[in-house]
Amino acid sequence: MPQEAIVLFAHGARDPDWALPARRVATEVQRLRPDASVVVAFLEFMEPNFADAVEAAAASGARLVRIVPLFLAQGGHLKRDVPALVEAAQAKHPDCRIELAQAVGEDAGVVHAMAVYSAGA
């Protein structure tokens, strides 16, 4: 039973194909972190939602749940909605530490990769 769970948290969409890149990221994260449980969760339209993903992680015995927003920037959802979700989950699961990472799009390496791709290099 993994002691750490990584929840890749995305917005969600009505089109199921929209989730394919997030699922590819999850596959790569699982390859890099075989000791952790890795799942994609969604804010809306798709399953599992945030609460269900955290619930499953806690039920599986994870003591650390790392929420990684697959967002480009800290917009309204990450400034208001997601912290409230984290707070509610932490209150429900006091034996788990629930950490919220910065939006992946704010990481210097991600910004560089997007710039290289955009420049056609």
With tokens 């939006």, the residue in question is: 103
Q: Which residue in 11, 77, 93, 112 is the catalytic one?
A: 11
Which strands form 64-69's sheet, in the order they lie side by side? 37-42, 4-10, 64-69, 97-100
Tell me, yes or no, if 77 is annotated catalytic: no
Instruction: Report the C-alpha dihedral over residues 13, 31, 110, 8, rounded to 10 degrees.
Output: 40
**Which of the residues are catalytic?**
11
